[in-house]
Amino acid sequence: MKILIINGPNLNLLGKREPTIYGNLTLEQIELKISDSAVQLDMEVDFIQSNHEGVLIDSIQQASEKGFSGIILNAAAYSHTSIALHDAIKSTNTPVIEVHLSNIYAREDFRHHSYISAVSIGQISGFGLDSYLLALRAIKKYLNYE
Ligand code: DQA
C-alpha cells in the first residue's frame, strides 16, 4: 500500500514558521517520523511539498498512475481558497484525507472553511505531527475495508 503525502505552501518553512502554532519540527523531521510509522504499519510513503497550486494539482491527478492508493493532503492556505484543488480531488478515484497541524476551527474565521473537506474521506486537524500519523492509520483502515 503506497501513500502520497502532499504538503502545500509555506510548509517547507516548518520549524522556523510560527512555532507556537506549528511546532518546532521541520518538514524533514516530520517526514522521517511519518516514514518510521509507515514501516511499522507495513506501508510505503512518498512525499511532495510545493508552494505552487498547479504542482499540487498535478500530483493529485498523477497519483493513481504512479501507483499510489491514497493521498494525505495538507494543502495549507490553499485549503481555504482553491476550487481547483477541490476539483482535482473530485476528478480522481484516489481517496484523500485532509490534514492540518493546527486546529483550523480555533483560529481566524477565514480558516474555518476548507474546499478540501467535502471531497475528502475525512479531515484530521489540530494534532501537529500526529495529524499525519493518525491519517496514515485511517487511510490504511479505509483501504483495507474498501
Ligand atoms: C495549516 C493551516 C492553514 O490554515 C495554514 O494556512 C497553513 C497550515 C495547518 O497545517 O495547520 O499553512 O494547513
Set of cell numbers at residue 99: 490534514
Q: Which amino acid is at 144?
A: N
Per residue in 9-61, pLDDT tens? 999 999 999 999 999 999 999 999 999 999 999 999 999 999 999 999 999 99
The boundaries of the domain holding residue 85 are 2-142
Catalytic residues: 22, 100
Q: Which residues approach ligand 1 with their CB closer than 6 A?
A: 10, 74, 76-77, 79, 100-102, 104, 111
> 95 to each of 29, 33, 117, 131, 140, how far by Cα in Å?
25, 22, 12, 17, 11
Residue whose CA lies nearest to ligand 1 atom number 8: 76
Look up the pTM and report it.
0.97
Give the domain CATH number at 103.
3.40.50.9100
Asked if residue 103 lies in contact with residue 125, where contact means CB atoms within 8 angstroms, the answer is: yes
First to last CA, the chain: 13
Q: How many domains does the chain have?
A: 1
Per residue in 111-143, pLDDT tens? 999 999 999 999 999 999 999 999 999 999 999
> 93 to each of 61, 85, 88, how far by Cα in Å?
9, 14, 10
- 74 Cα nearest atom in ligand 1: 13
What is the predicted pLDDT for the residue at 145? 67
What is the predicted pLDDT for the residue at 14? 98
Residue whose CA lies nearest to ligand 1 atom number 2: 76
The answer, yes or no, to whether residue 78 has pLDDT greater than 60, is yes
